[in-house]
Structure 1
Amino acid sequence: MPLNLACKPAVLCTFLCLAVPMLSIVKAEDPYRFFDWNVTYGFIYPLGVRQQGILINGQFPGPDIHSVTNDNLIINVYNSLDEPFLLSWNGIQQRRNSYEDGVFGTTCPIPPGKNFTYILQVKDQIGSFYYFPSLGFHKAAGGFGGIRILSRPRIPVPFDDPAGDYTILIGDWYMSNHTKLKALLDSGRKLPFPDGILINGRGRNGYSLTVEQGKTYRLRISNVGLQNSLNFRIQNHKMKLVEVEGTHTLQTTYSSLDVHVGQSYSVLFTADQPGQDYYIVVTSRFTAPVVLNTTGTLHYSNSAGPVSGPFPGGPTTEIDWSLNQARSIRTNLTASGPRPNPQGSYHYGMINTTRTIIVANSAGQVNGKQRYGVNSVSFVAPDTPMKLADYFKIQGVFKENSISDRPYGGRLYLDTSVLTLSYRAFVEIVFQNNENIVQSWHLDGYSFFVVGMDGGQWTIASRNQYNLRDGVSRCTIQVYPKAWTAIYIPLDNVGMWNLRTEFWARQYLGQQFYVRVYTDSTSLRDEYPIPKNALLCGRASGRHTRPL
């Protein structure tokens, strides 16, 4: 597993002086992995046209993070851009430590020409995830990469080691510079349709994967795009789903797989076809009459010829096909997770929920400009990260419960929306989608149990069809047009956590809010103290990271 240990002396000194106090609160036997990243602009040609991209150590996409359950990740990020920058970790739960989450509600941006050392622990996690830049519209320029967390050697995995393990980052893409796209949104307009689809930063026929006949391989597929659900398939090959965002799944076989924006899946496939080349195909879903597509190449090492014939067609355009596939994704109750005990030992269906929250997305005009919201509130970022305001008790940055836990049908308005929930509560969240597009929602700091999804309006009677036994546990979930999705969450992670749409233009224009999971306990068992190297900005500038 490649590790980057080449920290500059000044960087290493910064880490030793500032980060070690934070590290002392984690177990000494858990390994440390050091990464030193320089974030720059650079020219890229993903769709054959030169454009400015965001590179990490000169790479687009950025380098993978390879780790093992409970590893401590020390990631020094130097911002060589001409504007503030932040990285966030899609699916890394940041146990008791939302200060390191890397979104503006919790973390001050890294100023141009400065560095910040993220101190993360992949505590009790396995699986496939990714990181991305969270400020503004940086995500449209790159700066993303894969994260894999392997099981500890003594924990059994429910499949044999593959011959190869590959990160596959797919996503829709614009040829316009991210600053131009951001300016378009700031002016009150909507984004146009994307220009193409990328596979690992490359457009049509740009990506190739070489395999040996008869061997089995693992693909970790993440949709890192900006708005579109995508379908992934390999010509003449079947894929066996084995893991979703940290949960081993029932090993169901698919000929193609819908990957909604923000989601990550692991599949196994066997190179069991005659030795030649085959298409890897990614197409946009639910975008008719215009459908984006791109292809890569699965190359057999003993190939007798190039790809031939038309690339394989995708699934039906009917929502029901995708809905039925989503319902078939379930937890493998006989497999261990990051601990020796089976994943199914947490009987979530036998616990009474203490609160039901209904989340409805909405769109509209505010002050003559396009905005999006949740339960009629369009989120506006404050001048100070809310987690810092909470810690330093700075008044006026946000108000608790400034968003309703039910949609009420009122006109869209602007506010810094925060919903306070009690630590150790067990809550039900229903995502109600009244629009004609697929929505995708992500909650930082948590995995949740997907208990149900269907068309129409959710009612109390909808609970009769919930899966209360083996619903998959994950961190990003889709909601189909004119439909609902319900999840259960044990609120066991204190902090300030972002709940957002993964449709990035909508997120930027207000379709998000923060969940404040609160306890009055000051025990380190419940929440870590603010890191000594925490960046301070806004009204928190000049304060001390430890009480005097």
Structure 2
Amino acid sequence: MGSMTLVAALFLCLFAGALVVQAEDPYLFFEWNVTYGTIAPLGVPQQAILINGEFPGPKINCSSNNNIVVNVFNNLDEPFLLTWAGIQQRKNSWQDGTPGTMCPIQPGTNYTYRFQIKDQIGSYFYYPTTAMHRASGGIGGIRVNSRLLIPVPFDEPADDYTVIMGDWYNKGHKALKKLVDSGRSIGRPDGIQINGKSGKVGDQGEPLFTMEPGKTYRYRFCNVGMKTSLNFKLQGHTMKLVELEGSHTVQNLYDSLDLHVGQCLSVLVTAKKEAKEYYFVASSRFTKKPMTSVAIISYTNGKGPASPELPAPPPENSQGIAWSLNQFRSFRWNLTASAARPNPQGSYHYGKINITRTIKIVNSRNNVNDKLRYAINGVSHVDPNTPLKLAEYFGVAEKVFKYDTIVDEPTAESEKMITLATNVVNATFRNFVEIIFENHEKTIQTWHLDGYSFFAVGIEPGKWNPDKRNNYNLLDAVSRHTIQVYPNSWAAIMTTLDNAGMWNLRSEMGERFYLGQQLYVSVLSPARSLRDEYNIPDNTPLCGIVKGMPLLHPYTI
């Protein structure tokens, strides 16, 4: 081969290699140190869980299809896990960060999460799933931007702000865990934190955020609390809802918005009022004892403090649901907006798909051996020592749990008696399922399903029956991953089980989750192929009865 031919061949090889590198989606790398630290969200110094010394923890700012690599060092004195609420983890429940899928990160060790934000946009957050850690921090925001070539249905804002808020307990996670382990409830929270702080009218301090007159800003709000629904508003300003849990919405204007535990949304706010300070207000909903916290939003070069007269609460008493229910019904999917792909959100006609399975979920509470427990269809979930996903992978599931502990249609008796068991539902890959959440209690519930988005097609007072399907929104219900269920009410969702893995369906209320109000949905692909599910990561820690076992032959196609 002549020298010029050899040079040309080498150039072609290098050029082809460059194309391969460029074709791979970008990687974002994070290193997080999880430690204890002293903070005072409500003015009372207490031990909290910090990530890189911060609460809220570091934000993940990424774009659709980015590969995320997070190396987590556990410097606590307890095992620790993080889950990525709402991030669908396509084909990768190995990295879901729940006790049913992963062994916890032991004290003094580290674990590297690797996952891809596949075909998603929107506002999310991460938080701990071990013990009662969520009550003391370890929480931060996740922002997933659209790829540059995918149009967004609004102009680019002047800035993008994240607000991590929720109820807060001064006791700390260890004291709360002792309470629930002894059989008691954690009781009422002590207040509301907004990005790690709590304020009241008249306080002086640094503004939460600053806005320049005439410009429009995007605010992402997440309710990361333990049990309390919130209503929030920005004094004197209207908010345009543009995104809800990863879906672009019809852009309605609101003076205030309800946000339930585990939920995130984003709004646009235009700074078109007098240049001064204004209060951002977060208030409790559906509680006997009201709680309110404020933070300052300031105009640049603004003159004058915020008015001490706060906006009025929603026009009903704290126990009423009518106003909040009507607001839920006003949330609509924007059928003309692109999603994380060029095709419009409305191109998926979910209302025309036949339902293959209906599962009714009824939440309940009762005492078992004189200790408080929460249940789904009469079964209160208990995590085994061996994660369920690993038990399936190594072929020892029958030694760890039984499938279908609950039935799809619970009886009235299942509310009265609670059984402690590992709760796993065996589901069929790619079935289109309807899940009914029926709440017979006097407190509001919020439910979340890992690994999926679902269509929230209906919420109504009373009990569900098949005739209620006539009232479903089968056209433009928002695709999301949490759903609230009001007291003595029901909610219905629909989804296609097309994401193989072991996925957690849980109450987003921290106490209820810890005391058993959760289950796992096992979705196995018959093909056992890389087209349906990724191989187990090489760095997967093993525990329980699978500790020390060699990894099996991986999928090759």
Which TM bucket (shorter chain)? over 0.9
Q: Which amino acid aligns with 2:83?
A: S
SS at match of 2:162: strand
* Larger Rg computed on CA atoms: 2
Answer yes or no: is the 8 Å Cα contact 1:92–1:122 preserved in 2: yes
Match runs of 1:445-484 below 5 Å: 445-484=451-490
Deviation at 1:71, TM superposition (A): 0.3
RMSD value, Cα = 1.3
SS at match of 2:513: helix
Instruction: Tell me what 1:319 maps to.
Output: 321
Instruction: Tell me what 1:11 maps to.
Output: none
- Please state if 1:353 is matched with 2:359: no
Q: What CA deviation, in whole Å up to 9, does each residue of 1:39-92 have, x standing for no partner?
A: 000111111111001111111110000000000001000111111110000000
SS at match of 2:142: strand
Comparing 511-520 with 233-242, which one deviates more in the overlay?
511-520
Instruction: Tell me what 1:339 maps to.
Output: 341
Instruction: Tell me what 1:179 maps to.
Output: 174
Instruction: Tell me what 1:362 maps to.
Output: 364
Deviation at 1:379, TM superposition (A): 0.5
Q: Distance in 1 between matches of 2:531 and 2:332?
A: 31
**Match of residue 381, structure 2, among 368, 379, 390:** 379
SS at match of 1:464: helix
Instruction: Tell me what 2:523 maps to.
Output: 517
Q: Which amino acid aligns with 1:240?
A: K
Deviation at 1:31, TM superposition (A): 0.5
**Match of residue 51, structure 1, among 46, 55, 61:** 46
Q: Distance in 2 between matches of 1:152 and 1:433?
A: 39
Answer yes or no: is the 8 Å Cα contact 1:213–1:302 preserved in 2: no
- Please state if 1:407 is matched with 2:410: yes
Q: What CA deviation, in whole Å up to 9, does each residue of 1:141-169 have, x standing for no partner?
A: 10000001000000000000000101101
Deviation at 1:493, TM superposition (A): 0.2
Q: Distance in 1 between matches of 2:68 and 2:521?
A: 25
Q: Distance in 2 between matches of 1:103 and 1:404?
A: 23
Instruction: Tell me what 2:301 maps to.
Output: 302
Answer yes or no: is the 8 Å Cα contact 1:61–1:201 preserved in 2: yes
Match runs of 1:95-494 below 5 Å: 95-204=90-199, 208-288=208-288, 290-315=289-314, 316-317=316-317, 318-394=320-396, 395-408=398-411, 409-410=413-414, 411-494=417-500
Q: Unmatched 5+ residue regions in structure 1?
A: 1-24
Deviation at 1:393, TM superposition (A): 0.9
Deviation at 1:187, TM superposition (A): 0.2
Answer yes or no: is the 8 Å Cα contact 1:163–1:216 preserved in 2: yes
TM-score normalized with structure 2 length: 0.92
Match runs of 1:8-87 below 5 Å: 29-87=24-82
Q: Which amino acid aligns with 2:78?
A: E
Comparing 393-402 with 173-182, which one deviates more in the overlay?
393-402
Question: Taking structure 1 as reference, are residues 116 and 302 closer, same or farther at Cα in structure 2, changes over 3 Å only?
Answer: same
Q: Distance in 2 between matches of 1:214 and 1:249?
A: 24
Q: Distance in 1 between matches of 2:372 and 2:360?
A: 23
Deviation at 1:519, TM superposition (A): 2.1
Question: Taking structure 1 as reference, are residues 27 and 228 closer, same or farther at Cα in structure 2, changes over 3 Å only?
Answer: farther
SS at match of 2:184: coil
Deviation at 1:545, TM superposition (A): 2.5
Q: Distance in 2 between matches of 1:262 and 1:208?
A: 22
Identity %: 57
Answer yes or no: is the 8 Å Cα contact 2:394–2:552 preserved in 1: no
SS at match of 2:37: strand
Q: Which amino acid aligns with 2:265?
A: Y
Deviation at 1:358, TM superposition (A): 0.4
Instruction: Tell me what 1:500 maps to.
Output: 506
SS at match of 1:389: helix
Q: Distance in 1 between matches of 2:471 and 2:231?
A: 27
Deviation at 1:336, TM superposition (A): 0.2
Q: What CA deviation, in whole Å up to 9, does each residue of 1:172-225 have, x standing for no partner?
A: 000012100000000000112100000001111566211111110001100000
SS at match of 1:155: coil
Q: Distance in 2 between matches of 1:446 and 1:425?
A: 13
Q: Distance in 2 between matches of 1:271 and 1:364?
A: 50
Q: Distance in 1 between matches of 2:69 and 2:300?
A: 38
Q: Which amino acid aligns with 2:532?
A: D
